[in-house]
Amino acid sequence: MAPRRRCACAETRALEPVPKKNCALKPSEASQYRVYTARMGERSDILVIGAGVSGLASALCLLERGRGVRVIDAGRVGGGSSHGNCGTLTPSHAGPLHAPGMVAQALRWMFTPDAPFYVRPRLDPSLWRWLLRFAARCNPRDWAASARPRAAILQASREAFPAWIADHGLHCEFAEPGADCVFRDAAQLEAYARLLPALQEMGIASRLLDGREYLAGEPALREGVAGAVHFPGDAQLRPDRYVAELARAVVAAGGVVETGCEATGAEALADGVRVATSLGERRARDVVLATGAWSPLLARSLGLGWLRGAMQPGKGYSITYARPSRVPRRPLTLYERKICVTVWEDGFRLGSTMEFCGHDASLNRRRLLALERGAAEYLHEPVGPVKREEWYGWRPLCWDDLPIIGRAPGHRHLWLATGHGMLGVSMSPATGRLLAELVTGQVPHLDPVPYSPERFA
């Protein structure tokens, strides 16, 4: 049996309810997902464990291919890292975290608890083995080896998003304004610009802007900007509404979404998989494990101990406000502080940071304050008039910074859709499609080898 995990609902600390305007999953509708628990004992065709963005996208793509699907989750729909990210759709983020020079930077940040990338000192052999593998990839060759398949799945998703949203009627404030990476340090801008030709070769367009030119078109920013890089192919949506709409689409397509149903262990059978849950046993012909940073805990009961070595939970933070009067025209990455800024019709969010502290469930206020302090260096109005939500959640990070999509080694009926790091929303349409193609035996639209679980086993 895997250890019980804390309900994902507790990962959000709401100070004021976020308005549900245009959101298909209203509070009064949340209970509809429990209506479908009446047939708990029946065997499912496919059981998807995890009602986050990867699990729901996979479920929807499987339903499109004629498979029957039940989705279960320990908490609520989209209660994990799908909820609190900044909702940017970013082929521009094809470059992996293990960039050349990252080891030296991380060592400098070791003694700064509010640093963008922080490893909390503790005795955890699994974490240190993971960090050594990660550090070994901080070189140009391995950076490019991960960047190419990251670019492939990001671009496949980005190209799919308009039709994906239109075909399923997903009301999630999807927009295509591009995105900007903003610099106050000219040396860091120059270093970053050296990566742009490599991204261009992967099909990711960009335009370099000097500080004066950029400020003339972006009055939300303070003086002192050295320059910016504009990525016209990036887009944005509102992630909480997107995930709620995916759940609605799954149910509309004939699927079942069962919340408050925690998977605590699993056993492979000759003709499928038996899953123990907090609401009783579930059986399925095929099981898709899509529980993000919690995946290694459940996978242990299936003999997938390697997953713990492959993946670590990276704790991220965000703060959501009512919309200020002066906001950026496009999503921003404030490069030196590694802060993402996104604006929606009625909201404004600061997010990012990466803290390696296991599944520690405390809210580190120092890291929240660092978001506000860092944003104040760049923006005239770094916060909104009302703080609506403080959030943290765990991103599932693999040491090669690539997702894990495919059949679990040694199992006929177990599939994985996890390990997306900070890009689960950006990669969701292509993840769902690739997983569904592999399960149903169709020719995959992407080369599946770079994402295969076989690389770790």
Least Cα distance to 2 among 349, 297, 413, 388 occurs for 297
Range of the domain at 263: 8-82+240-309+401-455
Q: Residue 156 falls within a domain, yes or no?
A: no
Q: What is the pLDDT of residue 111?
A: 67
**Cα–Cα distances in Å, from 105 out to 33, 96, 100, 181, 195?**
45, 15, 10, 19, 18
Q: What are the backbone dihedrals phi and psi of residue 278, each rounded to the nearest 5 degrees, phi first? A: -70, -15
Whether residue 103 sits in one domain with residue 53 = no
Beta carbons within 10 angstroms of residue 432's beta carbon: 28
Q: What is the pLDDT of residue 124?
A: 85
Whether residue 385 sits in one domain with residue 335 = yes
How many folded domains does the chain comprise? Answer: 2
**Which regions in the chain score pLDDT beneath 70?**
1-42, 109-111
Q: Residue 149 falls within a domain, yes or no?
A: no
Q: Residue 1 falls within a domain, yes or no?
A: no
* 329's tokens: 């025209």
Q: Residue 304 falls within a domain, yes or no?
A: yes
Whether residue 197 sits in one domain with residue 48 = no
Angle 428-440/140-168 helices, nearest 10 degrees? 90
Q: Is 240 helix (H, G, I), strand (E, B) or coil?
A: helix
Q: Residue 384 falls within a domain, yes or no?
A: yes
Whether residue 181 sits in one domain with residue 104 = yes
pTM: 0.90
Angle at 51 between CA 410 and CA 46, to 5 degrees: 45
pLDDT in tens, 304-321: 989 999 999 999 999 999
Give the span between the Cα atoms of 330 and 234, in whole angstroms: 10
Least Cα distance to 81 among 174, 11, 10 occurs for 11
Whether residue 393 sits in one domain with residue 341 = yes
CATH of the domain at 180: 3.30.9.10
Q: What is the pLDDT of residue 42?
A: 59
Q: What is the DSSP pairing of strand 227-231 with strand 280-289? A: unpaired
Whether residue 384 sits in one domain with residue 318 = yes
Give the span between the Cα atoms of 132 and 309, in whole angstroms: 11
Whether residue 114 sits in one domain with residue 192 = yes
Amino acid at 26: K
Helix (H), strand (E) at residue 435: helix 428-440
Whether residue 420 sits in one domain with residue 298 = yes
Q: What is the pLDDT of residue 440?
A: 97
Whether residue 196 sits in one domain with residue 65 = no
User: Are 396 and 290 spatial neighbours (Cβ–Cβ below 8 Å)?
Assistant: no
Beta carbons within 10 angstroms of residue 123's beta carbon: 6
Question: Which of 373, 398, 423 finishes a domain?
Answer: 398
CATH of the domain at 13: 3.50.50.60
Question: Which of 398, 419, 445 finishes a domain?
Answer: 398
Q: Residue 194 falls within a domain, yes or no?
A: yes
Whether residue 58 sits in one domain with residue 189 = no
Q: Residue 127 falls within a domain, yes or no?
A: no
Whether residue 442 sits in one domain with residue 381 = no
pLDDT in tens, 140-182: 999 999 999 999 999 999 999 999 999 999 999 999 999 999 9
Q: What is the pLDDT of residue 79?
A: 84
Q: Residue 152 falls within a domain, yes or no?
A: no
The per-residue DSSP string of 293-313 comes to GGHHHHHGGGT-THHHHHEEE
Whether residue 16 sits in one domain with residue 60 = yes
Give the span between the Cα atoms of 102 and 114, in whole angstroms: 17
Question: Which of 398, 417, 442 finishes a domain?
Answer: 398
Give the span between the Cα atoms of 184 and 228, in whole angstroms: 9
